């Protein structure tokens, strides 16, 4: 696991903790902060996974990390529940860590 992937997992888990522990209007401010971290680290992770190509799953999840960050940002405006907004970020950050195909 790279440092960037570890930061992404930590940000996603922090967003999950915020979604569980913080009330509805205030949680979207915290989700916005975690989304900024995910967006920036996700962009760096795209470059790290693409050159040299580590695995297709890791690259795909890195490409989807900024998209998941945007979902977290838009969740408050779209009236999506905080837990539902965090799920895509958890999936795309944890999938390459949990699933490691045998080579």
Neighbours of 77 (CB within 10 A): 8
Which token pair is 85?
Answer: 């907004």
Q: Is the pLDDT of residue 47 over 80?
A: yes
CB 73, CB 31: distance < 8 Å = yes
Which pLDDT value is given to residue 101?
A: 67
Which pLDDT value is given to residue 51?
A: 86
Residue pLDDT, tens place only, 62-92: 999 999 999 999 988 888 889 999 999 999 9
User: In which band, very low, low, confident or very high, does the pLDDT at 102 lie, cut at 50, 70 and 90?
Assistant: low
Looking at per-residue confidence, does 53 or 27 come out higher?
Answer: 27
| Extents of the domains making up the chain | 3-95
Average pLDDT over residues 20-29: 90
Which pLDDT value is given to residue 99?
A: 83
Give per-residue burial for 22-58: e unless 16+ CB within 10 Å, then b.
Answer: eeeeebbebbeebbebbbebbbbbbebbeeeeeeeeb
Which pLDDT value is given to residue 53?
A: 82
Mean pLDDT (the chain, rounded): 90
pTM, full prediction: 0.88
């Amino acid at each position: 696991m790279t440092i960037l992937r570890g930061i992404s997992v930590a940000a996603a888990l922090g967003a999950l903790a915020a979604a569980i522990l913080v009330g509805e209007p205030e949680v979207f401010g915290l989700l916005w902060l975690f989304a900024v971290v995910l967006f920036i680290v996700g962009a760096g992770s795209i470059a790290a996974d693409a050159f040299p190509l580590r695995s297709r799953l890791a690259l795909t999840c890195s490409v989807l990390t900024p998209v998941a960050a945007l979902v977290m940002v838009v969740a408050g405006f779209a009236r999506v529940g905080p837990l539902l907004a965090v799920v895509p970020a958890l999936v795309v950050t944890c999938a390459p860590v949990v699933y490691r195909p045998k080579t």
